[in-house]
């Protein structure tokens, strides 16, 4: 596998996403998540062929118009992107996608000699600022998509120093009714958002990145507040699926090949497996992970 080919594809997808629709960058993140699973050997070797199928299909079905230009590296890339994140780190933007997009690019290119160009820097800046303008993102309440302003919700989530184990524990312990999760897939984004914050902190050792933690806890505040507005409470709503879906088994990747849910299946799997490895845990019970819809 030529991982740099796919990383260049992802860089170009970010550039073209900044010129068209910011959410198209999801496919760049999806490809980088699959590369991460393979490069970091987060799954048994017997699954690599199935993951490569998912990777190739994603690239084929979402082609770029151009190839990534391997121009001179832009020296201000790191500090510039981190500055944009830190300036707005006190609030949640678009379910944390500003942090997620930035982390995926930084992480993938840290294991590559692909230059981070001025063109890529400009594109990432456009994307991050676009997420900031879009607000906190909607929450599904009573089958309607509602935007709840973070500043209007009580701070109910317990603030703890973020670490891989803490993110996993927050994910496992947070409960919400099935209809809400079916509408907005918030549980999976707790994983990807938390993973991205920790990844940036560990990669750069920049003290000011601690501000990003507040964006995750503000999201938890919003979700807890939204739970109280939902009329379809757990005892009245349909139960979550009893089918356990594990990215350590072949059926998960076969299903993702049919429907990756806009690439989210790949990102959720990558974050969950990576967080467990970072926390020194060996995931064996995937019932909680299977709540992600």
Q: What Rg value do the Cα atoms of the chain yield, rounded?
A: 18
Instruction: Please say whether the beta carbons of 14 and 124 come within 8 A.
Output: yes
Q: Tell which wins on pLDDT, 218 or 238.
A: 218
> CA triplet 218, 183, 196: central angle to 5 degrees?
40
First to last CA, the chain: 30
Mean pLDDT across the chain: 91
- Whether residue 291 is predicted with pLDDT greater than 50 in this model: the reply is yes
What residues contact residue 259 under an 8 Å CB cut-off, 6+ apart? Answer: 265
What's the chain look like in SS3? CCHHHHHHHHHHHHHHHHHCCHHHHHHHHHHHHHHHHHHCCCCCHHHHHHHHHHHHHHHHHCCCCCCCCCCCECCCHHHHHHHHHHHCCCCCCHHHHHHHHHHHHHHHHCCCCCCCEHHHHHHHHHHHHHHHHHCCCEEEECCEEEECCHHHCCCCCCCCCCCHHHHHHHHHHCCCCHHHHHHHCHHHHHHHHHHHHHHHHHHHCCHHHHHHHHHHHHHHHHHHHHHHHCCCCCCCCCCCCCCCCCCCCHHHHHHHHHCCCCCHHHHHHHHHHHHHHHCCCCCCCCCCHHHCC
Rounded mean pLDDT of 239-245?
61
Residues of the chain above pLDDT 70, percent: 95
What residues contact residue 260 under an 8 Å CB cut-off, 6+ apart? Answer: 30, 54, 58, 266
Count other C-beta atoms under 10 Å from residue 57's C-beta. 14
- Whether residue 236 is predicted with pLDDT greater than 60 in this model: the reply is no
Place of tokens 């930084």: 106
CA distance 54 to 250: 12
CA distance 160 to 244: 29
pLDDT band at 239 (very low <50, low <70, confident <90, very high): low
Rounded mean pLDDT of 7-20?
97
- Whether residue 248 is predicted with pLDDT greater than 50 in this model: the reply is yes
- Model confidence over 78-117: pLDDT tens digits? 999 999 999 876 677 888 899 999 999 999 999 899 999 9
Q: List the structure tokens of 170.
A: 């927050």
Report pTM.
Answer: 0.94
Residues of the chain above pLDDT 90, percent: 74
Place of tokens 């939902």: 230
- Whether residue 241 is predicted with pLDDT greater than 60 in this model: the reply is no
* Per-domain residue ranges of the chain: 3-134, 138-291
CA distance 118 to 19: 15
Instruction: Please say whether the beta carbons of 112 and 238 come within 8 A.
Output: no
What residues contact residue 75 under an 8 Å CB cut-off, 6+ apart? Answer: none
């Amino acid at each position: 596998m030529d991982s740099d080919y796919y990383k260049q594809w992802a860089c170009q997808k970010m550039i073209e996403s900044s010129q068209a629709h910011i959410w198209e960058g999801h496919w760049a993140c999806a490809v980088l998540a699959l590369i991460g699973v393979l490069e970091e050997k987060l799954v048994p070797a017997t699954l690599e062929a199935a993951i490569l199928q998912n990777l190739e299909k994603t690239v084929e079905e979402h082609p770029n118009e151009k190839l990534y230009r391997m121009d001179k590296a832009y020296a201000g890339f790191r500090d510039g992107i981190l500055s944009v994140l830190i300036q707005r780190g006190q609030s949640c933007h678009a379910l944390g996608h500003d942090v997620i997009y930035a982390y995926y690019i930084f992480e993938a290119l840290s294991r590559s000699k692909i230059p981070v160009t001025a063109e890529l820097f400009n594109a990432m800046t456009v994307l991050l600022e676009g997420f900031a303008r879009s607000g906190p993102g909607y929450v599904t309440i009573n089958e309607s998509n509602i935007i709840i302003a973070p500043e209007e919700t009580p701070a109910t989530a317990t603030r703890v120093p973020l670490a891989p184990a803490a993110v996993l524990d927050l994910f496992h312990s947070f409960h919400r009714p099935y209809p809400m999760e079916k509408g907005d897939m918030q549980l999976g984004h707790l994983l990807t958002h938390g993973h991205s914050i920790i990844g940036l902190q560990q990669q750069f050792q920049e003290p000011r990145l601690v501000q990003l933690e507040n964006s995750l806890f503000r999201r938890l505040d919003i979700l807890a507040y939204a739970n109280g507005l939902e009329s379809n409470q757990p005892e009245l709503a349909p139960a979550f699926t009893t089918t356990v879906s594990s990215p350590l088994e072949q059926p998960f990747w076969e299903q993702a090949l049919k429907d990756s849910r806009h690439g989210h299946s790949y990102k959720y799997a990558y974050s969950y497996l990576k967080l467990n490895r970072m926390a020194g845990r060996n995931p064996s019970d995937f019932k909680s992970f299977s709540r992600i819809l």
